Chains A and B, each alone.
Chain A
Amino acid sequence: EDQVTQSPEALRLQEGESSSLNCSYTVSGLRGLFWYRQDPGKGPEFLFTLYSAGEEKEKERLKATLTKKESFLHITAPKPEDSATYLCAVQGTGRRALTFGSGTRLQVQP
Chain B
Amino acid sequence: NAGVMQNPRHLVRRRGQEARLRCSPMKGHSHVYWYRQLPEEGLKFMVYLQKENIIDESGMPKERFSAEFPKEGPSILRIQQVVRGDSAAYFCASSPDSLSGNTIYFGEGSWLTVV
Interface of chain B, helix or strand or loop or mixed?
A: strand
Taking a contact as CB atoms under 8 Å apart, the answer to whether B48 and A99 are in contact is no
Taking a contact as CB atoms under 8 Å apart, the answer to whether B55 and A96 are in contact is yes
Measured in the bound complex, the distance between the Cα atoms of B31 and A31 in whole Å is 17
Per-residue contact bits, chain B 94-106, to A (CB 8 Å; 1 contact, 0 not): 0100000011111
Interface centre among B4, B41, B106 (most CB of A within 10 A): B106
A-B contact count (CB 8 A): 57
Cβ contacts under 8 Å, A99 to chain B: 45
From known contacts A31-B102, A32-B102, A95-B56, infer whether A103 and B108 are also in contact, taking CB-CB under 8 Å: no
Taking a contact as CB atoms under 8 Å apart, the answer to whether B106 and A36 are in contact is yes
From known contacts A97-B48, A98-B45, infer whether A42 and B56 are also in contact, taking CB-CB under 8 Å: no
Per-residue contact bits, chain B 26-58, to A (CB 8 Å; 1 contact, 0 not): 000001010100000111110010000001100
Q: Which chain A residue lies CB-closest to B6?
A: A43
Taking a contact as CB atoms under 8 Å apart, the answer to whether A43 and B102 are in contact is no
Measured in the bound complex, the distance between the Cα atoms of B96 and A49 in whole Å is 15
Cβ contacts under 8 Å, B95 to chain A: 96
Sample (21) of A-B pairs whose CB atoms are under 8 Å apart: A34-B104, A43-B107, A43-B108, A44-B43, A44-B91, A46-B103, A49-B102, A87-B42, A87-B43, A96-B31, A96-B48, A96-B56, A97-B33, A97-B45, A97-B56, A97-B59, A98-B33, A98-B45, A100-B43, A100-B45, A103-B42
Measured in the bound complex, the distance between the Cα atoms of B4 and A78 in whole Å is 29
Taking a contact as CB atoms under 8 Å apart, the answer to whether B106 and A43 are in contact is yes
Interface centre among B4, B33, B43, B59 (most CB of A within 10 A): B43
Query: Which B residues form the contact surface with A (CB < 8 A)?
Result: 4, 31, 33, 35, 41-45, 48, 55-56, 59, 91, 95, 102-109
Taking a contact as CB atoms under 8 Å apart, the answer to whether B105 and A46 are in contact is yes
Measured in the bound complex, the distance between the Cα atoms of B11 and A73 in whole Å is 35
